[in-house]
Amino acid sequence: MAEFQEVMRQWSRMCELHDDGCASCDIYVDCGAKYPESRTSLNIKTIEDTVINWAKDHPEPVYPTWEMYLAERMTADMRDGKTHNPQSVEEYVRRTRIPADIAKKLGLKPKGE
């Protein structure tokens, strides 16, 4: 069941990246999007193999943890003289504002709005 869920998750990622409405998708004909009447004769193994191969070629982005990000930022800020040498990541988190680009992506609004 876990393998099926992973194939479906990757297939969903694959579909999301095709802004042109499937025309450039590798499995456009096989998945039945182009020919809905052919869905009963789908080549499931071909679809699965294509999706898995696509996922190998397009790995999901891996982001650092908040702790890693903040520790790196803390070090950079200390080098630039922007901090008063905090003792820990936790202290730095309490004293440092969230960068605007990250706040925007998180949907946070500036204080006072």
Q: Which domain holds residue 43?
A: 2-57
**Res 111: pLDDT:** 75
Residue 15 domain flag: yes
Residue 112 domain flag: no
Residue 88 domain flag: yes
Give the count of domains, the chain. 2
Residue 8 domain flag: yes
Q: Is pTM, for the whole model, over 0.75?
A: no
Percent of the chain topping pLDDT 90: 4
Least confident range of 18-22, 31-35, 67-71, 81-85: 31-35
> pLDDT tens, 37-59?
555 556 778 888 888 998 999 88
- Give the residue, 34 or 60, on which the prediction is more confident: 60
Residue 31 domain flag: yes
Whether 26 and 53 map to the same domain: the answer is: yes
Residue 92 domain flag: yes
Average pLDDT of the chain is 77
Residue 40 domain flag: yes
The residue assigned the tokens 């080549």 is 43
